[in-house]
């Protein structure tokens, strides 16, 4: 599998999300994500608008489903999503329902291990229940809470190799990664690279002289797409 670049549209305004998405697609991004903030603000309307604007592009609906799995997945599939997200901490029946909806409506299921006491076992659990992808995820609140207590902030990279080796499905790492770290994910065996939006171009190697965000993103996409997945 070749590296895939996904941009997370963590915005609350659909017009801004559409503008950012258009810039990202021009720059070489492969997948669009209707981030949780966008889904909370715009719901199915936001996903429909993305689908209308980008008819051939995969769209991930970051639902973080915990219950009502079949209905949530069905609604997003009908709105135009190609991928939906369910949480490992949901009841197993909920995950099974999302997987069944995925089969019924032709959408892929991404299982998120955020909050699992054992992140590696959480990934295996999601794969065993039929998820097509695993999202290895260290949460926003978790990272900041641990840092505020005076401890080192955890990173998805800490256990990424272990998670990748534990499952056969593709893995995505999410949670506080710098651009440099996100670009390195294929070297850990994780082919699905997520870039957050709004984007902060904080890597000197990827800044352009005029601060052109699209040009910077194009360089980032090229750097990711040029890699070979390291499965060793």
Residue 201: band (very low, low, confident or very high) from pLDDT cuts 50, 70, 90: very low
- Reported as a single tens digit per residue, the pLDDT across 51-68 is 999 999 999 999 999 999
Residue 92 has pLDDT above 60, yes or no: yes
Give alpha helix (H) positions in the chain. 14-27, 36-53, 69-79, 92-105, 119-128, 140-148, 160-166, 179-184, 213-225
pLDDT at 99: 98
The CA distance from 28 to 48, in Å, is 22
Q: Report the SS3 class of residue 5.
A: strand
* pLDDT tens-digit map of 111-162: 999 999 999 999 999 999 999 999 999 998 999 899 889 999 899 999 999 9
Q: Is residue 55 part of a domain?
A: yes
In a domain? residue 232: no
Is residue 209 predicted with pLDDT exceeding 50? no
Residue 11: both structure tokens together: 């915005």
CA distance 222 to 79: 31
Q: Is residue 206 in some structural domain?
A: yes
Evaluate whether residue 127 is within a structural domain.
yes
Q: What is the pLDDT of residues 93-109, one digit of tens each?
A: 999 999 999 999 999 99
Q: Looking at the domain assignment, is residue 231 inside a domain?
A: no
Domain hosting residue 146, numbered range: 4-225
Q: What is the CATH number of the domain that holds 106?
A: 3.20.20.70
Q: Cα-Cα-Cα-Cα dihedral of 114, 179, 194, 176, to 10°?
A: 20
Residue 154: DSSP 8-state: P
Phi, psi of 82 (to 5 degrees): -105, -15
- Domain membership of residue 177 (yes or no) is yes
Query: DSSP code of 153?
Result: P
- Is the pLDDT confidence value at 29 over 80? yes
Residue 230 falls within a domain, yes or no?
Answer: no
| Axis crossing angle, helix 69-79 with helix 36-53, rounded to the nearest 10 | 40
- Give pLDDT, residue 176: 86
- pLDDT at position 216 is 86
**96 vs 82: CA distance, rounded Å:** 18
What letter does residue 31 receive in the DSSP assignment? Answer: E
User: What is the number of structural domains in the chain?
Assistant: 1
Give the Cα separation of 158 and 14 in Å (integer).
34
Longest dimension (CA), the chain: 52
Q: Which two tokens stand for residue 170?
A: 């593709």
Q: What is the pTM of this model?
A: 0.93
């Amino acid at each position: 599998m070749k590296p895939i670049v996904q941009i997370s549209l963590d915005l609350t305004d659909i017009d801004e999300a559409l503008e950012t998405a258009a810039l990202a697609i021009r720059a070489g991004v492969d997948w669009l994500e209707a981030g949780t903030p966008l889904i909370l603000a715009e719901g199915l309307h936001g996903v429909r608008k993305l689908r209308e604007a980008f008819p051939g592009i995969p769209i991930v609906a970051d639902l973080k489903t915990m219950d009502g799995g079949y209905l949530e997945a069905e609604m997003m599939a009908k709105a135009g999503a190609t991928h939906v997200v369910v949480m490992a901490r949901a009841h197993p029946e909920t995950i099974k329902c999302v997987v069944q909806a995925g089969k019924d409506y032709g959408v892929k299921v991404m299982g998120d291990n955020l909050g699992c006491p054992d992140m590696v076992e959480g990934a295996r659990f999601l794969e065993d229940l039929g998820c097509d992808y695993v999202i290895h995820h260290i949460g926003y609140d978790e990272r900041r809470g641990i840092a505020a207590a005076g401890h080192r902030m955890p990173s998805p990279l800490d256990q990424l190799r272990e998670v990748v080796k534990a499952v056969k499905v593709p893995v995505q790492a999410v949670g506080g990664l710098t651009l440099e770290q996100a670009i390195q994910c294929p070297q850990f065996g994780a082919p699905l690279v997520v870039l957050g939006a709004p984007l902060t171009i904080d890597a000197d190697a990827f800044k352009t002289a005029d601060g052109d965000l699209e040009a910077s993103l194009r360089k980032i996409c090229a750097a990711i797409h040029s890699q070979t997945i390291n499965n060793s």
